[in-house]
Amino acid sequence: MSLHRIHSVLTTLLLCSLLSGCSGVGKLGSTLHDLMELRSEVLKKFNEKDVNINIRETERHSAIFITFINSDLNNKTDAERTIRAQETAELVKARYPKIQSIDEIAVMFQRVTTVFLIFHYSEGLDMYGFDNQARLLPQFDRTRARDEESKSGVSVTYSAIKKRTDIQTAAMQLDGVPGRGLTVIPHLEIPVDTSEVTPKPPDKVSFDFASYSPKQRFPNLTKIAFISDNKLVYQTDGQFSTSRAADNSLTEFLYLQIPYSAFKKSIEGKAVALRLGEQEFPLTDEQLRSLRKMTQFFKD
């Protein structure tokens, strides 16, 4: 992170500490570390050169701001920036350890021009606001959301801008507890409004894995297997990315896509498990129902 970016983040956090009662230097240092790690993830995932990330807090509201500066998307369409904003919010939700303490995720695109190496002119192009679950806030008025939350734990959200429906289960805890263990979030996208038409299924289903542990659990290329009734249905390899948190614990992430056909076949059995390396994680009945629910929006 460049010095002026560190200064920007640190200044914001110091103001937070003075004005909003953040608890001490330890928390300040931990938050700064988390923001630097998050910035590195954003730069890596989107291959950007300059991204500014900071937090603003008042007594009633807290927000994390991600600003893409002079991005190539500045010269592209609003729809493309909308997609990037959604993907960024989802990354923040998955990667920022203190996400539950945040009310809003704000994603902005900015054009900055420097004249004579001294004068800096900035122009804001677009801003998008999301809650801490990466759902677009209604006041931005560019998305019609349709959430179908049921006991199966599946949400369905249609974006009128992207003209896509996102179908996602609640986070599935494979072992441990939230924030200390292994979690996966299965989700898929389809380029139609599933409330109006019944489309063919997508080609791929995504599985976002997150591991939080005192030591590294998946250090090498890891075999990921989908097992149904003790039979191997699908197997592939994945490489977890790793970062160290302020408390010295390790966080590991893997974004995996598998063919929809393999996904559907793997959840047809009575007993379904995921195997990562040498570790096998049986799914609960509730988790299996959630996965099956994801397939009910498509033609056979």
Average pLDDT, the chain: 82
Q: Point out the domain boundary residue: 118, 142, 166.
A: 142
Which residue range(s) make up the domain with 180? Answer: 144-300
Contacts of 34 (CB under 8 A, 6+ apart): 96, 97, 98, 245, 246
Contacts of 8 (CB under 8 A, 6+ apart): 52, 54
Do 232 and 259 share a domain, yes or no? Answer: yes
Banded model confidence at residue 27, pLDDT cuts 50, 70, 90 = low
Say how far apart CA 225 and CA 236 lie, in whole Å.
7
Do 119 and 187 share a domain, yes or no? Answer: no
Q: What are phi and psi of 252, to 5 degrees?
A: -130, 135
Do 149 and 138 share a domain, yes or no? Answer: no
Q: What is the CATH number of the domain that holds 246?
A: 2.60.40
Do 191 and 96 share a domain, yes or no? Answer: no
Do 296 and 153 share a domain, yes or no? Answer: yes
Contact between 211 and 252 under an 8 Å Cβ cutoff? The reply is yes
Alpha helices in the chain (DSSP H): 3-20, 24-46, 78-95, 260-266, 285-293
Number of structural domains (the chain) is 2
Q: What is the CATH number of the domain that holds 73?
A: 3.30.70
Do 78 and 194 share a domain, yes or no? Answer: no
The CA R_g of the chain, rounded to the nearest whole Å, is: 20
Q: What is the pTM of this model?
A: 0.54
Q: What is the pLDDT of residue 30?
A: 76
Tens of pLDDT, residues 137-150: 765 544 444 444 44
Say how far apart CA 43 and CA 252 lie, in whole Å.
17
In the chain, the percentage of residues whose pLDDT exceeds 90 is 44
Contacts of 75 (CB under 8 A, 6+ apart): none
DSSP letters spanning 119-183: EEEEEEEEEEEE-TTSPBPGGG-S--------TT-EEEEEETTTTEEEEEEPPEEEEEETTEEEE
Q: What are phi and psi of 12, to 5 degrees?
A: -60, -45
Contact between 165 and 158 under an 8 Å Cβ cutoff? The reply is yes
Do 120 and 226 share a domain, yes or no? Answer: no
Do 52 and 151 share a domain, yes or no? Answer: no
Tens of pLDDT, residues 111-163: 887 766 555 566 667 788 888 899 887 655 444 444 444 445 788 888 776 78
Say how far apart CA 282 and CA 247 lie, in whole Å.
30
Q: Point out the domain boundary residue: 142, 164, 192.
A: 142
Q: Point out the domain boundary residue: 92, 121, 142.
A: 142
Tens of pLDDT, residues 49-94: 899 998 887 766 788 999 999 999 988 887 788 889 999 999 999 9
